[in-house]
Structure 1
Amino acid sequence: MEPIYRALAECSCKALTVTLLDLPWNHQCYDGYYTMIERVKKADGTWAFDYTVFDEYVEFGRKCGLGRDIHCYSMCPWGYRVTWKDESGKSYRVKMLPGTPEFEDYWGAFLVDFAKHLKKKGWFNDTYIAMDERGPDEVRKIVNLIQAKAPGLKVAACGKTKPSLFADIQIENFCLGFIHLRDHFLSELKPRREKGFITTFYVCGSALTPNTFMFSHPAEGFYLGAYPVMIGFDGFLRWAANSWPKDPYVDASYKTEKSWVNGDVYLIYPNAELSPRLIALRAGVVAAEKMRILADEAKKKGELADETLKYLAGPYYYRDAIRGFGKQKPCAVDFVEFRRMVEEFVNSDR
């Protein structure tokens, strides 16, 4: 695992994903994701927690360069099915909905203990309770419980709606699906950054272009790496990096109960070799970092750096990119031209 994680870190991957219970995303992949924190419910109704695997994994990830942010999945697992064992070792998997006494008992005791453990390890300020595509009502109930039991513990959410719909809920790290981007969402980026919050966007199998599928043009990956910083985002998220199909060296198709698009679930091979798709994405990220540095230098000179980047991004508007720049089919020529323009900008003499 170490070569893979180091390679991802070198590609500017920041977050380390950890599991709080079994199968937080159900069993969508060939490999199941089981809990890194063992829970035991004692005969008297109290809970005991074992953080051994969690601690080893976070320490390992950080040794490899990952884990600036620790994203913990999840208090809203698929179907809200939570897991634990009793003192005899018998396993339980039960549905518990936010706002119910059972949910608050299960998660409340954990949050109190988890916060103490994170503070002891020095990880509290780097840790987020992470959620996938949940509505405001669900998130509100969960965040209220977090604030009551572990004040200051941060929240990360991937969603399909703009952050202002969660206006009364503090979400320190918000990631919106690329196909759901709208101009009114962009207007919320600066206020969130001023609060010290992180805002990104993501792609998965729901957007055929731009993307990093096996059939995607490499310039699409470059676009996804470079474009976020040009319009005010803090970064980009891609599901997924290393959820391999049966034999990723031979066949990129992915057939479980979910038939993902070829290349949707991995960007790196089990031997830590980067796919051409990840190389293209990394090139875009490198260009984005160069633009960020140039913008900082311009601001020191009193120049309008942010406006310059938005001007450059203008002809490659995100809504047009989704629609193939006004054509019936996505047009690689436009993404190639975007890449040429960005590379010319970051490599020109100033």
Structure 2
Amino acid sequence: MKKSLLILVFWFIKVITIEAQVTGFFTSFEDFGVKLSNNTEFKAWQNETLILPFVINADTINSLNFKVSVDAKNVKTEFVQLHLVEGDLSAGNCGQAISDGVFEKKMFPDRAEVLTNNSFKVITTTSYGLVKLVLPDKLKSGKYPLKLTLSQNGDVQILNAVIHVIDRKLPEFSSLKYEIDFWQFPLSISTYYNIAPYSTKHWDKIALMFDELKTINQGVVTTSIFYDLYNTSVKPLDQMMIQVCKKEDGSFTYNYSLFEKYVELAASKGISKEIAVHNLFPWNLTYFYFDEVDGEIKSFESEPGSQVYNDYWAPFLLDFASFLKSKNWMDKTVFWIDERDFTLSEKLIKYVKDIDPSFKFGYSGRFSQTLSEHIYDYSLSSNIILEPEQLLARKSKGYKTTLYTSCYEVQPNMLLSSNYNDVYFLVMLSKAQGYDGMLRWAFNLWSPQIMKSALFSDLPSGDSHIIYPEEQVSLRYLLLVDALEEVLKTQVKFKHEETQQLLTAHTRYFLRNNENERNSMVRAMKNYLND
């Protein structure tokens, strides 16, 4: 009797121990980390890409095997591991405020790696992942069981869900009437990988970047006259996108070969609506050229309107206009001004258009009615309200208007520490306000440690990137794609009265400062679109 009892106790303890090794559950982006009940339904349209988040708790860090099965034909599945990245809670702070401040640090599940060998790398006791489903456009409406099987050290955990496909077909992504503009940093790529700038390997990486941009409906290629948007350090001549050389007689020559190749590569990837050109009015007011007499890069500081500024830029503008016209690019080229003084910006625009009135301008920052008359592509901070007549005036001229967020916005934002619902809210807010899309200042400005840490000395974590090296994106990027599919759904249901009511509800100003109400707004729109 005692022997049987001991065996029973031993068996019971063994079962409890094994069962405790690995557990998991599906969760939602609305309440990330909160366990959903077994067989929770996830609604989707035909032709939609669905991402289901889940959490794994394991006692050991041994690799974990997985298998995904869906009781439906032709459903493509991907398994994504969300790696933890270190970040801080410094939203709303920029520059010196971050350098001088002390902010709480946390680990965020952000770096998204697509797994191809059915093995999940368990690094910490709690891990995060996604099941990504691409639903066929001809999939019949109905409910389809999904099973995610996890196994580790002989222990098996099965997570069940139900994919509820409703009788609506999502249009092709190419029909999306909503533009994304993330500014690109090609030299950040070569620096991270330690490869020669604009070498064959670098161009291959740039091509991959353009592929990732096209997935979010990017239409703008970001270019610089010099090295990048901010030019915080002097680099060699062969890293200038447009190589500016001063000859012995004091005249200038311009080599557009890198600029041309970069723009044409972007176009080959489907990014060809606009060529954004930076550096006419940079933050540091610094300009560069290669002095052929001294054989070195030289720089000087000046602001628009000064004689030295005008003398430097006039020959370039004339030559650049000739080059753009020869390529048939003039009409889609836009000189970009980023949060610069209104008066100096107006002075610059007048100076440039006096040389060639065909040049266009873009501006990101506060709204100026006077400036708006001359700005083809105007991106406004998300907390700015544009009056209906102001927007109508811009539309009547064929102008483009977007919103953007930066390090200054505490909420809503797209930082590592931001609520996941903020991605959906911001995308839909721009749509609700009648804008053409949204802008972010940095797609891929990486630090050497970006795969593990997004800490910067002067930026909130996540402000400077939405993709990672090694062809990995972020969770925020995947949510952005999902949010753009929600916009596609509003296009289908745009004439419905409830669609208009919910879009209008997004514009209520208090939502920008009330996370709970913002979450409710996002949830209400999702429920309606998937009804």
Q: TM (normalized to structure 1)?
A: 0.85
What CA distance in whole angstroms lies between the structure 1 residues aligned with 2:499 and 2:321?
A: 40
Structure 1: stretches of 5+ with no match in the other structure: 299-304, 325-329
Aligned to 2:480: 281
1:98-130 per-residue CA deviation (whole Å, 9 max, x = no partner) reads 112211121111111111111111211111011
Letter in 1 for 2:214: A
Aligned to 1:112: 318
What CA distance in whole angstroms lies between the structure 1 residues aligned with 2:445 and 2:381?
A: 20
Aligned to 2:263: 58
Aligned to 2:439: 237
Pairing 1:17-36 to 2, within 5 Å after superposition:
17-27=222-232, 35-36=240-241
Q: Does 1:206 align with 2:408?
A: yes
Tell me which of 502, 505, 509 is aligned to 1:312.
Answer: 502
Letter in 1 for 2:420: P
* Contact in 2 for aligned 1:267/1:274 (Cα 8 Å): yes
Report the identity percentage: 25
Aligned to 1:159: 365
1:76-114 per-residue CA deviation (whole Å, 9 max, x = no partner) reads 012211111122332111012211221112111111111
Count of residue correspondences: 321
Letter in 1 for 2:466: L
Q: Does 1:122 align with 2:328?
A: yes
What CA distance in whole angstroms lies between the structure 2 residues aligned with 1:283 and 1:111?
A: 41
Deviation at 1:342, TM superposition (A): 2.4
Q: Does 1:67 align with 2:257?
A: no
What CA distance in whole angstroms lies between the structure 2 residues aligned with 1:128 and 1:244?
A: 25
Deviation at 1:319, TM superposition (A): 2.7
Q: Please give the secondary structure, in 2, of the residue aligned with 1:199.
A: strand
Pairing 1:243-282 to 2, within 5 Å after superposition:
243-255=445-457, 258=458, 260-282=459-481
Q: Which has the higher strand share?
A: 2
1:309-331 per-residue CA deviation (whole Å, 9 max, x = no partner) reads 5531344335313322xxxxx33
* Contact in 2 for aligned 1:246/1:254 (Cα 8 Å): no
* Contact in 1 for aligned 2:314/2:355 (Cα 8 Å): yes
What CA distance in whole angstroms lies between the structure 2 residues aligned with 1:6 and 1:95?
A: 37
Q: Please give the secondary structure, in 1, of the residue aligned with 2:223.
A: strand
* Contact in 1 for aligned 2:432/2:506 (Cα 8 Å): no
Deviation at 1:294, TM superposition (A): 3.9
What CA distance in whole angstroms lies between the structure 2 residues aligned with 1:92 and 1:74?
A: 16
Aligned to 1:10: 215
What CA distance in whole angstroms lies between the structure 2 residues aligned with 1:165 and 1:178?
A: 20
Structure 2: stretches of 5+ with no match in the other structure: 1-204
1:168-198 per-residue CA deviation (whole Å, 9 max, x = no partner) reads x51101011113x1253x5411221121000
User: Whose relative contact order is higher, 1 or 2, with alpha carbons under 8 Å and at least 6 apart?
Assistant: 2
- Inter-CA distance 129–308: structure 2 relative to 1 (3 Å threshold): farther
What CA distance in whole angstroms lies between the structure 1 residues aligned with 2:308 and 2:292?
A: 19
Aligned to 2:302: 96
Aligned to 1:302: none
Aligned to 1:170: 374
Deviation at 1:337, TM superposition (A): 2.6
Letter in 1 for 2:279: S
- Inter-CA distance 308–64: structure 2 relative to 1 (3 Å threshold): same
Higher-Rg structure is 2
Q: Does 1:136 align with 2:335?
A: no
Letter in 1 for 2:520: E
* Contact in 1 for aligned 2:433/2:507 (Cα 8 Å): no
Q: TM (normalized to structure 2)?
A: 0.57
Letter in 2 for 1:171: I
What CA distance in whole angstroms lies between the structure 2 residues aligned with 1:250 and 1:144?
A: 46
What CA distance in whole angstroms lies between the structure 1 residues aligned with 2:509 and 2:403?
A: 13
| Cα root mean square deviation, aligned | 2.2
What CA distance in whole angstroms lies between the structure 2 residues aligned with 1:157 and 1:249?
A: 32
Tell me which of 245, 253, 263 is aligned to 1:48.
Answer: 253
- Inter-CA distance 183–146: structure 2 relative to 1 (3 Å threshold): closer
Greater shift after overlay, 124-133 or 239-248? 239-248
What CA distance in whole angstroms lies between the structure 2 residues aligned with 1:52 and 1:18?
A: 13
Q: Does 1:341 align with 2:531?
A: no
Q: Does 1:197 align with 2:399?
A: yes
Deviation at 1:22, TM superposition (A): 3.9
Q: Please give the secondary structure, in 2, of the residue aligned with 1:3.
A: helix
What CA distance in whole angstroms lies between the structure 1 residues aligned with 2:327 and 2:214?
A: 22
1:209-266 per-residue CA deviation (whole Å, 9 max, x = no partner) reads 11111121211111112221112111101122111232222112123xx2x1111111
Q: Which has the higher helix share?
A: 1
What CA distance in whole angstroms lies between the structure 2 residues aligned with 1:272 and 1:225?
A: 24
